[in-house]
Amino acid sequence: MKPAFILGSGRCGSTLVSQILRLHPEVLSLSEVFSTAGARAFSPRPLSGAAFWRVIGQADRLGAALGNPQRAPREFLYGSQQGNRYDPFACPPLLQVALPHLTDRPDALFETLRKQALTWPVQSIQAHYLALFAALKQGAGQEVPVERSGGSLVAARTLRRLFPDARFVLLHRSGAETVLSMCDYPAARLALYSWQHFRRIGLDFLAPDHHYGRGGIWPVLQRFSWLLPVQRILDTAPDPVGMARFWSEMMQRGCAALQDLPGPQLMVLEYEELVAHPAENLARLGYFLTGGAPEPWLSAASALPEQRPSRSARLEPKDRAALVAACEPGEQAFARLRAARQAGLDFNV
């Protein structure tokens, strides 16, 4: 079983792609499995089944602050069903988005997975995720697990190393539009704060080999998150230019991590093209991931993308110019990657 991953910066249209893939009869659409696991998502050390279950199945203070109906009303899915077992404001990571995305009985599926996971041996984090994907496939009929987490581009090199045979879709949206949306999103605000402030003590939120979710220091810091003004960070809109620099850095590092992937393992998908020409681009996506794009799926999925007015176009000219300039390094990195893919050439980002 070879998984696939949708990589993006966050706020780039990846939730839409998850919704689209959920309709595909051969795709097991896994939404926000990695992102909700937080600081321990890609543990570098082998874990027992019980330890892995604590990563994906045990609520923590910071995760609950970010993932709840108030902070992320569109993305957070748990609680819309009747008779939920858990408090939506103190919800286990796997229940926040991933399981409600798959079933209208997420609590029952959660309990089934818990029983299985506790029997798994000590093994690598990638072996645990593959076991989780296999367990979710049971009875579902979908053969291709496709995980999509907001901001997963941060982990591009890690995912390549953990899953060397996987396929990757790099989803790109206009930097200026993405950044303005990131400024509104609580999780992106906290990520920006962490990147800006922890660099002062030598910790890089975006470090290719020690990024948030991979480096051993992040779970330690997360346990002390109560020392940070978390609520103020989540409530305060950041400077768009600062967010644009963060986005650009993520794009540069992510494109560098993907630059030498063989052609059959990487597809570039542009949000604006997806919205403008959904059938054409979704057919490409379907064939890339599964080898097929069934007509009923293509018809239903093509109806989901919607045109939205540009937010950056409404900015004052000087503010828009500053925003676009701060996005330019990330846009250039993506343009080089896209051009090399179109030409079938290797290159350096």
Our CA dihedral for 269, 270, 271, 276, rounded to 10 degrees, sits at -110
Q: What is the pLDDT of residue 140?
A: 75
Q: What is the pLDDT of residue 138?
A: 86
Mean of pLDDT values over 263-267 = 95
Judged against a pLDDT cut of 90, whether residue 79 lies above it is answered with no
Report the alpha-carbon distance of residue 56 to residue 148 in Å, rounded. Answer: 15
For 4-174+212-236+264-310, the fitting CATH number among 1.10.10, 3.40.50, 2.10.260, 2.60.120 is 3.40.50
Judged against a pLDDT cut of 90, whether residue 345 lies above it is answered with no
pLDDT of 181-228, one tens digit each? 999 999 999 999 999 999 999 999 999 999 999 999 999 999 999 899
Mean of pLDDT values over 82-88 = 90
Mean of pLDDT values over 121-140 = 94
**Residue 88 to residues 61, 91, 107, 257: CA-CA distances in angstroms?**
13, 5, 12, 36
Mean of pLDDT values over 107-132 = 98
Q: What is the pLDDT of residue 141?
A: 77
Judged against a pLDDT cut of 90, whether residue 83 lies above it is answered with no
Mean of pLDDT values over 271-286 = 98
Report the alpha-carbon distance of residue 295 to residue 300 in Å, rounded. Answer: 9
Mean of pLDDT values over 102-121 = 96
Mean of pLDDT values over 248-267 = 97
Judged against a pLDDT cut of 90, whether residue 74 lies above it is answered with no
Which letter, b or e, does each residue of 203-237 get, where b requires 16 or more Cβ atoms within 10 Å of its Cβ?
A: bbbbebebbbbbbeebbebbeebeebebeebbeee
Judged against a pLDDT cut of 80, whether residue 131 lies above it is answered with yes
Report the alpha-carbon distance of residue 30 to residue 27 in Å, rounded. Answer: 9
Q: What is the pLDDT of residue 1?
A: 66
Share of the chain above pLDDT 70, in %: 98
On average, the pLDDT of the chain sits at 95
> Is residue 203 within 8 Å of 272, Cβ to Cβ?
no
Judged against a pLDDT cut of 60, whether residue 132 lies above it is answered with yes
Domain-by-domain residue ranges, the chain?
A: 4-174+212-236+264-310
